[in-house]
Chain A
Amino acid sequence: MAHATNHRNLSLKFLIWGYIIWSLVPVLIAVIYSFNDGRSRTVWQGFSLRWWITDPYASIFRNDETRNAISNSLVLAFATILVVTPLGIALAIGSQRIRGRSANFVQGLTSTPLITPEIVVGAALLLTFTRLFTAVPLGFVAQLLGNVTFSLASVVVIVRARLVSIGASFEEAARDLGATRWQALRFVLLPMLWPSVMASLVVVFATVIDDFVITSFLSAGVSSETVPLRIYSSVRGGATPALNALATLLVLTSFAVLIIGLFGLSTWRKRHGERGGLRAALADVTQINS
């Protein structure tokens, strides 16, 4: 019996490592080929940094269009964060505390964007901005509004989870000690929400910087081209390894933000005497408890 169980565990172990290899190695190969010396993305011709920095025209840090896309992506991500974070925190607090029929409505409204396919949101916003709210021009502003709408729900989910785990007792204690409702919120609850705010920043940044569908539906050509749009339009052409370099840069950026966020989260926890460390930080960001 024990033998059979071990046998099955072994094959499960094979499966899981096989899966991990399958899911990561192709990406690693693409990263490696960004250092290819030749123009091919499939045949190795020696190591070079030409697609990253040395080539004066084609390398990603020197090509004007690519630099434009990089700056567009960063501006869009930071602008979205600026708008969506306060909006999301307020909505999370408010929607958790109102009661009755309107509460159901607000809750339904906040959780629906999270599971609506992006193409539906993108198409709906495109038709809205071209026909109803025609004051909103396609391009940066439309992309900003679209990305805020799409990522609002994830901020709400993350902050609400934290609100639930904090519970009402701290605020009640503050109220008993004479704080007004607003003071209890400002000086007791908000500081405790900090980990979820940090987690939201990381998640929103990664979502927006990676977003393709909404940003593409609402773009107005080259002036509002972001990195994912640039990658998308050249994957099937005869693009050089500069494409791999650009995609690698995108991945490195989101990992950098993730790692900074995780580090910040676990430090915060340590300093405030909350247990969990990195594990809890990971749970903050992924919303999955391990």
Chain B
Amino acid sequence: MARPMDTLYRWLTQIKLNKSPRLWAGFAIPGTVWLIVLFAIPFYAVACVAFGTIDPVFRDAVPQWNPLSWNFVQAQQIFTSLATGPLQGVAIRTVVYVVCAMSLSFVIGFPIAYFLARHAGKRKILLLVLIIVPFWVNYLMRMLAWVNLLSVDGLFTRFMRIFGVNYNWLDGSPITVILGLVYGYIPFLILPLYATLERLDWRLVDAARDLGANSRQAFRLVTLPMSKAGLVAAGILIALPMFGDYYTNDLLSRSPSTEMIGNQIDFFLNASSQPQNGALLVLALSLFLLLFMSFYLRSTRQQTRQVTR
């Protein structure tokens, strides 16, 4: 343990050397150490469990703390399984559900954010408050509300029966899961979208209209390019939690036929004790999401830089 502590110490003292008064470094240190110990190191622990071994007697995962002796046998198996084997369905379903839910959220959320930013008029604050309300309603409560409505004698099921629709909503229906994801995460899309559109310089759109563009052209050639970065960031912001979601699925479907990668992680780590497989899936998910996360962090950093200047 001596060497990592040395590096840590050297790194921490370096903060002071970087021309900043010690006071400010002293302020940053407790929080930084907290995040290193309880956020960065846990990721390392995940890798050590993922690339460790299985105890032959107790079948428990034995982490391998030395990266040089990591063993990749199980990793290979899990990754093959995700690509072509039994977990392939889970991988495909995760991507398809998230893509469907995202697209639907944009189709519903964009016009709402657009209206709020441009045409809401006097009612704007009221509308904004009503749109913020779901933020403060517990996620489980919102799912519980739909479980009640969609159960066999629920209000919505009974209502649909009038039209001759007799559908078992809560028993492994992909439609319910996707709509559940939309319902759960769309507030987190609408607000950032609204913030982006609100900041746009709409005079440029008006100028395009004055110069003869029709509304569709103005939208495609001016509004969209100007707001693209914000749209992508907002999309990533809801895609990330959707990829890691398992509770929506668990509450609205509970069937293996709709399982996503989060459900598998939950299963490996909590239901059956297969921590190594769980750790490997966490690792796979994190690597996959790293792409989106770094993109998001870069774009927000650029934004804050523009603001602070």
Q: Determine if B212 is an interface residue (Cβ-Cβ < 8 Å).
A: no
- Closest Cβ of chain B to A128, distance in Å, is 4
Q: Determine if B247 is an interface residue (Cβ-Cβ < 8 Å).
A: yes
Report if A30-B148 is in contact (Cβ < 8 Å); known contacts: A123-B282, A236-B251.
Answer: yes
* Residues of the B chain whose Cβ atoms lie less than 8 Å from the Cβ of A130: 275
* Residues of the A chain whose Cβ atoms lie less than 8 Å from the Cβ of B134: 23-24, 27
B23 to A15, Cβ gap below 8 A?
no
A16 to B128, CA, bound (A): 11
* Residues of the B chain whose Cβ atoms lie less than 8 Å from the Cβ of A116: 240, 286, 289, 293
A149 to B127, CA, bound (A): 33
* Residues of the A chain whose Cβ atoms lie less than 8 Å from the Cβ of B187: 23
For the residues of A in contact with B, the DSSP-based class is helix
* Residues of the A chain whose Cβ atoms lie less than 8 Å from the Cβ of B170: 236
A58 to B29, CA, bound (A): 49
- Chain B residue nearest to A216 in the complex (CB): B270
B31 to A110, Cβ gap below 8 A?
yes
- The number of residue pairs between A and B whose CB atoms lie closer than 8 Å in the complex comes to 286
B29 to A26, Cβ gap below 8 A?
no
A290 to B307, Cβ gap below 8 A?
no
A16 to B251, Cβ gap below 8 A?
no
Q: Mark A13-27, 1 if CB is under 8 A from B, else 0.
A: 101100110111011
A255 to B32, CA, bound (A): 32
* Residues of the B chain whose Cβ atoms lie less than 8 Å from the Cβ of A216: 270
Number of interface residues of B (CB under 8 A): 108
For the residues of B in contact with A, the DSSP-based class is helix
- Closest Cβ of chain B to A209, distance in Å, is 8
Report if A286-B191 is in contact (Cβ < 8 Å); known contacts: A15-B111, A87-B31, A120-B244.
Answer: yes
A119 to B32, CA, bound (A): 22
A103 to B34, Cβ gap below 8 A?
no
A251 to B137, Cβ gap below 8 A?
yes
B37-59 CB contacts (< 8 Å) to partner A: 38-43, 45-46, 48-49
- Closest Cβ of chain A to B218, distance in Å, is 12
Q: Determine if A178 is an interface residue (Cβ-Cβ < 8 Å).
A: no
* Residues of the B chain whose Cβ atoms lie less than 8 Å from the Cβ of A185: 23
**Binding stretch for chain A, among B69-77, B79-87, B112-120, B224-232:** B112-120
B130 to A120, Cβ gap below 8 A?
no
B251 to A27, Cβ gap below 8 A?
no
